[in-house]
Structure 1
Amino acid sequence: MVHVNIAIDGPAGAGKSTAAKGVAKRLGLKYIDTGAMYRAITWKGILKGIDFEKSREIELLTSNTVINIKKGSDDSNRIYLDGVDVTTEIRDPSVNRKVSLVAKNQQVRDMMVAQQREIASGGGIVMDGRDIGTHVLPGAHFKFFINATLEERAHRRYLELTKQGHEISEEDVQKEISMRDKIDTEREFSPLVAAKDAIFVDTTNLTAREVEEKIVIHVKECIQAGTA
């Protein structure tokens, strides 16, 4: 497979991470979950008891944090925070409620984006997030924007959390996602928005496999046609 870079953006619960993992595996590319990097900072902030309303506290925390993404035995990303595997911990609902406050901080984004661009510099990357096609990798060979209705996204996240053993109502999940949408789309720096040249994929009535298939087919057709 040609070493192309693929950017997949979208809001919480749209299915971008699932699609990105599947696409990377089928095309022989490396998958990078940028959201996990912000989640790791958030998790550390929760453990340290910082005030997430104070930008300076978040910035100091980030500047003294080392995040590494390694490949697990099942080819999935394993997230290491200061040398400790926190892949499971960063999916805790408490992180969901604070992560957008971290992600909207410009200095934090600058530090994270620098790492993300370095990772992608050699090509062969599928990277998902909220500003990959617009800011992190504006020159990506392929850009996709994945979305679904708020109700469907909340239902998916609710099923995911309850499967993991978390006790939370679907109504609360929907409220949290709605708030994250508001913060992500209205933030001053690199807001959540589709790149002008991104291909839009509505996943509301599609299975994860169908979403993955749409992306893979498009990429392969473009590469075969020499338009990638």
Structure 2
Amino acid sequence: MTPRLPTPVAIDGPASSGKSTVALELCARTGHLFFDTGILYRAVAAAALQRGVAVADEPAVTALAEKLAITVLPPTVADGRTNTVLVDGVDVSLQLRTAQVDASVSVVAAYAQVRRLLTEQMRTVARTEPVVMVGRDIGTVVIPDAPLKIYLDASAEERARRRYAENVARGAPSDLAQILAGIRERDRRDRERTIAPLQAARDAHVVDSTNLTRAEVVAALERLLQAAARPPAHSPAPYSISKKAQIFRAVAVPAVRIMYYILSRPTVHGLENVPPHGPYLITANHLSYYDPPCLLVMWPYLVEAIGASDMMTDGGFMSRMINGYSTLPAHREAVDAQLLRTALNVLKCGRALYIAPEGARNPAGLGAAKPGAAYIALKANVPIVPVAIIGTDRIFPELRKGRRQTVEMVIGTPYRLPDLPPAQRRHALTECTQLIMQRIAALLPPGLRGVYA
């Protein structure tokens, strides 16, 4: 069996040491995601400039950073970019290298709260997929437990010479002495800053590229990567639930089904679309607290489910029901690699698995979905059964008026996402998530289709 290459890989080093250049080539050989962490700070700086937030106003920039949804992907357009960067769903990749952003990013990167927010986002990426992270404090601050840390260095003179050669090749005006002075000043600032100063981690492999060609540096890094490779992971044990959960389901599912018939008028359409057995993924909209249990008790047979972890800890009635059913816990605001592995194991064992792609209730209509459902479906290559649930948000308001609400569950025709090779799946997540939500939207009345109308 092939050893697993280490991930995440941290590459730090001073400005113009060639980190991005060699890391990109390394990722092309190994299949790791290349992640230049500096683009997160650039994304915040660009958003501040575009939205009229003064870059010098630390509280305002921090408040903006807290609201932004920044997504870093492999390059989706062949225009020279190293990553595609989305801010609130909009591709801003080409806006990140402007002179205005260049002049603002160091100010933004010095704000402690902004660094804290973006560091957490970097760590989330590091937990979810094979990645090579490039920066100045990756091995010391961002992922100090990375299995492989590399500090790529070169003399200031050599780094200045490389920058000068690049400028000359582009036909840009260039002064070697001025470049050298700028690099020495940048080194001084990076090493003397109070927050996350530039330094090699104690357990980092220091590679001095002063007298090495790019090919020699890439070869050296690849040797380090292979040397740190781990034995392949053992296959997970078959998924199973506890005897206590089995008893809970045997008692609670029929009881809750009867409760739904007492409190409302449930109707299920499309039962003929339910596969006779798993593995498959059930994806549904999320109007209220009451549609997940509605689906679970109205389905022709027992299926596994993913639910919000914060609903499992308050000790209330709903919390006890979710835990009793042995629902898989999902953290709403973080990518949980353990959850994804368990979900894939459920499907591998031939079970059906229910997930609400939105990850939160949206009573006004479909909200923007998270990519988890698409990731699981692509990775497991299983059919998807779309479901629309209508009326659960009106059960108790109608009961207070002395009426029983009609609740409808519409089960659509199963379908599959494209069977893509692993290298293409990351690129397809957004498009596949859109497809999943459009299939659900097609089963809903127009007023509940929300952002997928």
Aligned counterpart, 2:4: 2
1:85 to 72, 86, 91: 91
* 1:174 positional shift: 3.9
Aligned counterpart, 1:17: 20
Q: Is the CA contact 2:45–2:108 (under 8 Å) kept in the aligned structure 1? A: yes
RMSD (Å), alpha carbons: 2.8
Q: 61-70 or 108-117: which moved more?
A: 61-70
1:181 maps to 2:192: no
Which structure is larger by alpha-carbon Rg, 1 or 2? 2
Specify the SS of the correspondent of 1:138. Answer: coil
Q: 201-210 or 167-176: which moved more?
A: 167-176
Specify the SS of the correspondent of 2:85. Answer: strand
Instruction: Give the 5 Å matches for 1:1-228.
Output: 2-4=4-6, 5-48=8-51, 50-73=53-76, 76-160=82-166, 169-223=175-229
Q: Is the CA contact 1:100–1:183 (under 8 Å) kept in the aligned structure 2? A: no
- Output the CA distance in 2 between the equivalents of 1:150 and 1:99: 22
Deviation track 1:108-140 (CA, whole Å, cap 9, x = no partner) reads 111101111111113521111111111111111
* 1:35 positional shift: 1.0
* 1:196 positional shift: 0.2
Q: Is the CA contact 2:5–2:225 (under 8 Å) kept in the aligned structure 1? A: no
- Output the CA distance in 1 between the equivalents of 2:113 and 2:90: 24
* 1:161 positional shift: 5.4
* 1:182 positional shift: 2.7
* 1:59 positional shift: 1.5
* 1:12 positional shift: 1.3
Q: 5-14 or 213-222: which moved more?
A: 213-222
Deviation track 1:70-92 (CA, whole Å, cap 9, x = no partner) reads 12245942122333333233223
Runs of at least 5 residues in structure 1 that lack an aligned partner in the other structure: none
Runs of 4+ in 1 over 6 A off after TM superposition: none
Runs of at least 5 residues in structure 2 that lack an aligned partner in the other structure: 233-453
Q: TM-score, with normalisation over the residues of structure 2?
A: 0.45
How many pairs were matched up? Answer: 226
Q: 126-135 or 1-10: which moved more?
A: 1-10
- Output the CA distance in 2 between the equivalents of 1:56 and 1:69: 25
Matched to 1:2, the amino acid is R
Higher relative contact order (CA 8 A, sep 6+): 1
Deviation track 1:116-168 (CA, whole Å, cap 9, x = no partner) reads 11111135211111111111111111000011222332343345456667656
